[in-house]
Amino acid sequence: MNWYEDEVSGLEKAHINDKTDPGIVFYGSSSIRVWGTLKNDFADRKVTNLGFGGSTLAACVWFFERIMVDYNPQALVFYAGDNDLGDGRHPEEVFIFFQQLMVQAKSRFGNLPCYFISLKPSVARWHLAEQFKYTNNLIAAEIEKSNSNWIFIDVFSRMLDQSGRPIVDNYQADGLHMTDKAYRLWTEIIEQELVKSLPLVNT
């Protein structure tokens, strides 16, 4: 995991003053890290971006305790697993990493509202679509079975066209990283779930 050290150290330095009141923490891979409009997209809420580039779900588990130390968030929104499958890991392995993440989040934050964003159907990794679907199904079923503080957020189905393939203009030229259009869609979907347990207060 040494290749993530610069990214993780950067997070620690950049957010040293955010720990006592981070609002909603967004944690995960580059889909989170490069979300440059995150604060504006959730302008009615306080959010902190703790994504680190290229991270796998395995890496997010590995660094969880270190990154989250002293944080007191209102909720945790998580995205990772995409890179694990891209690196050749099997859905069952990703599922085990998710179970470990659940245990860590419970230990660190108790019954804090936690949200898992489903793996997205990217153009570049469409050859792995069945593995992505299976992984999403495993995680969604685990969340439903556990009847816990976790919520599964489905973005996969909303990012497909009428033929059931990825909507191309949701992605940059690499077919993997998302465009502003895709992030606007994510904002809409995520906010629909957030408001159920974290309603906005009119001031």
Contacts of 68 (CB under 8 A, 6+ apart): 25, 27, 108, 109
Asked whether residue 124 is assigned to any structural domain, the reply reads yes
Torsion of the alpha carbons at 16, 65, 104 and 85, rounded to the nearest 10: 100
The answer to pTM > 0.85 is: yes
Number of other CB atoms surrounding residue 192 within 10 Å: 10
- Decide if 101 is inside a domain: yes
Instruction: Say if 202 falls within a structural domain.
Output: no
Residues spanned by the domain of 103: 2-197
- The answer on pLDDT for 1 being more than 80 is no
Q: Does 21 fall in a domain?
A: yes
What token pair was written down for 119?
Answer: 């793996």
pLDDT digits (tens, 9 = 90+) for 127-186: 999 999 999 999 999 999 998 899 999 999 999 999 999 999 999 999 999 999 999 999
Residue 203 included in any domain = no
- Which residues lie closer than 8 Å to 162 by C-beta, 6 or more apart? none
Residue 33, amino acid: R
Which pLDDT score is estimated for 134?
Answer: 98
Predicted confidence (pLDDT) per residue in 125-139, tens digit = 999 999 999 999 999
> Is 111 a member of any domain?
yes
Q: Is residue 99 part of a domain?
A: yes
Res 3: pLDDT: 72
Q: What is the mean pLDDT of the chain?
A: 95
Is 119's pLDDT higher than 90? yes
CATH number of the domain that residue 70 is part of: 3.40.50.1110
Say how many domains are in the chain.
1
Instruction: Provide the pairing of β-strand 150-153 with 114-117.
Output: parallel
152: in domain: yes
